[in-house]
Amino acid sequence: MSQPNTRHNSTPGSERLTAMLERMLLIRRTEEQLGADSRAGELPGNVHLCAGQEAIAVGVCNHLSDSDYVGSTHRGHGHFLAKGGSVRSLIAEVHAKSTGACGGLGGSMHVTDLSKGMIGANGIVGGGIGLAAGAALSAQVAGEGQVAVAFFGDGASSQGILPEVFNIAVLWKLPLILVCEYNGYSEFSASSTVNAGEIADRARAFGIPTDVIDGNDVEAVWTSAAIAIERARKGEGPSFIEAKTYRLRGHLEAEDGFLQAPYRSEEEIDQWRARDPIPQLVKRLTEMSAMSDADFEILEAKVAAEVKDALQFANDSEPPEMERVLSSVFVDQLP
């Protein structure tokens, strides 16, 4: 039997909310920079931006420490920064520089920082789900109360690996939090055309405690994640969170180059723009009298400076040498 998540009593509080706002803003402004770089033809590869979805990454990862794990997706910049990855290493990686998170060998779809428990963005849809479940297994074996989070999209929910992981995670009571970022689209297909029924019901069928939340409300995300993560830390097994959200940018920045016709209405985009998680959070903090316009401007300036510094850092960095590639294939073989 699946039990619905009961609402957690604790709330994040204004100080924590402010810290989360800063992270969300950092993700947004970093990605705006990368989007502009992409459109200007300054990036070697494509970028998938998560603008509009930042509250999910930040609300969940706010509970995690460096020893917890996050498995991510092709849309992974937000998860990377939310998990504590640095803006410098992110921007440098996407710009294919040796100082990037993966030395310029991975790229946007593979940003990883194992020192922060970020086990990677992933170019294979569904790939991160298996990796996160494996990290949860490792956490269980280590017995130190670590947890693992798998972020994945509504589209990825169609991969067989998801129900396979549901099953194993329940059987083994893995400390795994499965977070479906339901942004309504799988590439250019509306989710309703590629997903039968409710995705959350699939988790419920395995007896996994499940919560369907407003993913654009960082407080709701934070509260739901608090319960799921506590359960995992106590050894009570996996949880499933379906966070409803919307990506404000395209599937990939370059999509206008090949799309023959729009696949989303302007109206729909505008509706969701009005629900942008960042202004919503600013409004909430203002209502709590925890943030003034001046405070917000200071925050914006701080974030802008950080992004500017990171871009400068990336521009000043060298591309990777072939030596790095050749030494990155295997660890030294055992004697």
Partner 1 sequence: MAKMRLTQAINAAYFEEMERNERIVLFGEDVEVSMFGDTRGLHAKFGSNRIRNTPISESAMTGMAVGAAMAGTPAICHLMFSNFALTGFDGIANQAAKLRLMTGGQARLPVTFVAAIGAGTSTGAQHSDTPYPMFMNLGGINIAVPATPADAKGLMKSALRGFNPTIFLLPRVRGATSGEVSEDPDFLVPYGKASVMQEGSDITIVAIGSCVHHAIRAAKALAEDGISVELIDPRTLVPLDTDTIVASVRKTGRLVVVDEARDRCSAASHIAAVVGDEAFSSLKASIKRVTSPNIPMPYAPALERALLPDPDKIVAAARLTLAS
Ligand X SMILES: Cc1ncc(C[n+]2csc(CCOP(=O)(O)OP(=O)(O)O)c2C)c(N)n1
Stretch that binds partner 1, among 182-190, 210-218, 272-280, 285-293 (CB under 8 A): 182-190
Instruction: Give me the amino acid identity at 50.
Output: C
Residue from 185, 222, 240, 313 in contact with ligand X (CB under 6 A) = 185
Residue number with the smallest Cβ distance to ligand X: 153
Helices (H), 66-125: 77-82, 87-94
Residues between 183 and 202 that touch Mg ion (CB under 5 A): 183, 185
Token look-up 């994945």 returns 152
4 binds, among ligand X, Mg ion, partner 1, none (CB under 5 to 8 A by kind): none
Is residue 333 at the binding interface for partner 1, with CB under 8 A as the rule?
Answer: no
Report CA-CA distances (Å) from 57 to 143, 173, 277.
Answer: 25, 23, 12
Residue from 23, 63, 75, 231 in contact with ligand X (CB under 6 A) = 75
Q: How far apart are CA 69 and CA 117, in angstroms?
A: 4
Is residue 78 at the binding interface for Mg ion, with CB under 5 A as the rule?
Answer: no
Residues between 123 and 162 that touch partner 1 (CB under 8 A): 123-127, 155-156, 158-160
Task: Give the residue among 210, 208, 232, 281 at the shortest CA–CA distance from 63.
Answer: 232
Residues between 239 and 268 that touch partner 1 (CB under 8 A): 258-260, 263
Question: What's the closest the beta carbon of residue 219 comes to partner 1, in angstroms?
Answer: 31
Is residue 155 at the binding interface for Mg ion, with CB under 5 A as the rule?
Answer: yes
Is residue 216 at the binding interface for ligand X, with CB under 6 A as the rule?
Answer: no
Question: What's the closest the beta carbon of residue 76 comes to Mg ion, in angstroms?
Answer: 13
Residue from 110, 173, 264, 284 in contact with partner 1 (CB under 8 A) = 110
Q: How far apart are CA 45 and CA 111, in angstroms?
A: 13
Task: Give the residue among 55, 19, 13, 50 at the shortest CA–CA distance from 243.
Answer: 55
**21 conformational bin, left if phi > 0, alpha if psi -120 to 50, beta if neither:** alpha
Token look-up 């939340």 returns 213
Question: What's the closest the beta carbon of residue 73 comes to ligand X, in angstroms?
Answer: 6
Question: What's the closest the beta carbon of residue 297 comes to ligand X, in angstroms?
Answer: 31
Instruction: Give me the amino acid identity at 55.
Output: A
Minimum CB distance to ligand X smaller for 33 or for 122: 122
Report CA-CA distances (Å) from 202 to 2, 12, 51, 131, 176.
Answer: 11, 29, 27, 20, 16
Helices (H), the chain: 13-39, 54-61, 77-82, 87-94, 127-142, 161-171, 191-194, 199-205, 218-233, 266-273, 277-287, 293-316, 322-326
H/E segment holding residue 165 = helix 161-171
Residue from 154, 217, 219, 253 in contact with Mg ion (CB under 5 A) = 154
Question: What's the closest the beta carbon of residue 118 comes to partner 1, in angstroms?
Answer: 16
Residue from 125, 161, 174, 226 in contact with ligand X (CB under 6 A) = 125
Angle at 14 between CA 226 and CA 29, to 5 degrees: 85
Which residues are within 8 A (CB) of 257 and not within 5 positions of it... i.e. 6 or more apart? none
Give contact residues for Mg ion (rule: CB under 5 A).
153-155, 183, 185
Give contact residues for ligand X (rule: CB under 6 A).
73-75, 123-125, 153-156, 183, 185-187, 251
Give contact residues for partner 1 (rule: CB under 8 A).
44-46, 96-97, 102, 104-110, 122-127, 155-156, 158-160, 186-189, 193-195, 258-260, 263, 319-320, 322, 325-326, 329
